[in-house]
Amino acid sequence: MSYQEKKHLVNGIGSLLLFAVYCWFVLQRHEAGSFDSTASFRFWAAAILILIPLSIAAKIILTILFNIVYRMTDREKEPSFSDERDKLIGLKATRNSHYAFVLGFLLSLGSLILNAEPSAMFVMLMFAGVASELVGAFTQLYLYRKGF
């Protein structure tokens, strides 16, 4: 596997694990309290706003750790350049990631139209964010494996 393939595989798996652990903690806190509608909105908004910087920080730490381990195991440096192919793969992955998020966003709004609980909308938004990140990472992995 090339450096890019390994990087995107680790990124996707790391994002999935981080989200699973975070969901477990949020679920524990949600089950511990009884919420009225106002407190429920506040709880889910805080959960999403905490997830965003947490995932950014985790991604930075994961990238640093990956580069250290990669350099120790393969005795190679990170490629210092990206050619047109790398940029095109990145753009296609970004496009697919945006499509996935927009679909999740529309589905979360649709849940309110179908008279679902407001917390369902927030949960769907969180899943849409993580799903879009995974779609982007695994699109890049697929395109590198395909030899695009």
DSSP string, 12-49: HHHHHHHHHHHHHHHHHHHHHS---HHHHHHHHHHHHH
Phi, psi of 76 (to 5 degrees): -125, 155
CA distance 125 to 111: 11
CA distance 9 to 143: 12
CA distance 6 to 1: 6
Q: Give per-10-residue mean pLDDT for the chain (148 aa).
A: 86 91 87 72 87 92 91 80 88 97 96 88 91 94 87
The pLDDT, as a whole number, for residue 147 is 79
Q: Where are the alpha helices (DSSP H) in the chain?
A: 3-32, 37-74, 84-113, 118-146
Cα 98 to Cα 10, 58, 68, 74, 144, distances in angstroms:
21, 21, 30, 33, 19
What is the C-alpha R_g of the chain? 18
The pLDDT, as a whole number, for residue 65 is 93
CA distance 74 to 104: 38
Structural domain containing residue 141: 3-146
Q: Are 101 and 128 in contact (CB under 8 A)?
A: yes
Quick check: helix, strand or coil at residue 2? Answer: coil
**Number of separate domains in the chain:** 1
* Predicted model pTM: 0.81
